[in-house]
Amino acid sequence: MSPRICLFAFLALALACGGAQEPEPAELSGEGAEAKPAPKPATAEERNAAKLRAAQDVGCEGMCERTTRCAVEDARASMSAKELEELKLEDTAPRHQEECTTECKASNLSVRQVEVLHSCLREEASTCAELVTCLDQLKPQKS
């Protein structure tokens, strides 16, 4: 596996559905001002979208941690000591993991893609090679 595998994880993420936004609380704008109407309770669709977003965020964190760890393992196994020193893994690995997590969380995955992501992080993908193969299933399905 090569460090480019982490980039693959980014490319595998596709836009599908968005998360719900929190409504703003009612505010008073001064003495005698009328209160804004109370926000409507979240609909079932909004609650489901929020649950999907939370599940996606957890999956993104796990995936980015694992793909970064795999890239580091691959680099240590395939690069010379000089190349590793130039790569500065102690600096680049945490930065990569953070960037991966931010980008993944910003994407809008479908329910199927979130389920695939979580299944890849369970025992189904115990090695880095298995993880990469599993993450390949994140690609959008043709309808």
CA atoms within 13 A on the CB side of 23: 13
Residue 68 has pLDDT above 90, yes or no: yes
Token pair 């001002």 is at which residue? 33
Of the listed ranges 16-20, 24-28, 58-62, the least confidently predicted one is: 16-20
Amino acid type, 59: G
Say what the pLDDT of residue 79 is. Answer: 95
Of the listed ranges 6-10, 57-61, 70-74, the least confidently predicted one is: 6-10
Q: Which among 1, 3, 43 has a CA at the least distance from the CA of 23?
A: 43
Question: What is the DSSP secondary structure assignment for residue 2, as one 8-state letter?
Answer: -
Give the range with max mean pLDDT: 22-31, 50-59, 120-129. Answer: 50-59
Angle (nearest 5°) at CA 121 between 117 and 124? 105
Mean pLDDT of all residues belonging to the chain: 80
Say what the pLDDT of residue 31 is. Answer: 57
Say what the pLDDT of residue 97 is. Answer: 97
Q: What is the mean pLDDT of residues 86-92?
A: 93
Classify the phi-psi angles of 30: left when phi > 0, otherwise alpha if psi is within -120 to 50, otherwise beta.
Answer: left
Token pair 């490319």 is at which residue? 11
95 near 1, Cβ under 8 Å?
no
Chain length of the chain: 143
Say what the pLDDT of residue 108 is. Answer: 92
